[in-house]
Amino acid sequence: MRPTASLDTRCYQAALYLYPPAFRREYSREIVRVFDEARHETQLANPSGGLWAFRARMSADLAIAIVGQWLRSGWPSIVVISMLYPLIAATAAASLWRRVPFVLSPGTSDADVIALELLAAVVLVVIATTIILTLWFTRPLYRRPA
**pLDDT tens column, 106-139:** 666 676 777 777 788 888 888 888 788 777 777 7
134 part of a folded domain: yes
What is the count of structural domains for the chain?
Answer: 2
Same domain for 124 and 110, yes or no, is yes
Q: Could you give the CA distance from residue 86 to residue 35 in angstroms, rounded to a whole number?
A: 44
1 part of a folded domain: no
27 part of a folded domain: yes
Same domain for 63 and 83, yes or no, is no
The tens digit of pLDDT for each residue in 43-73 reads 888 877 788 888 888 988 998 898 888 888 7
83 part of a folded domain: yes
DSSP character for 55? Answer: H
Q: Could you give the CA distance from residue 9 to residue 37 in angstroms, rounded to a whole number?
A: 10
pTM of this prediction exceeds 0.85: no
Same domain for 79 and 139, yes or no, is yes
13 part of a folded domain: yes
HSE of 11, CA atoms in CB hemisphere, 13 A: 8
Same domain for 92 and 55, yes or no, is no
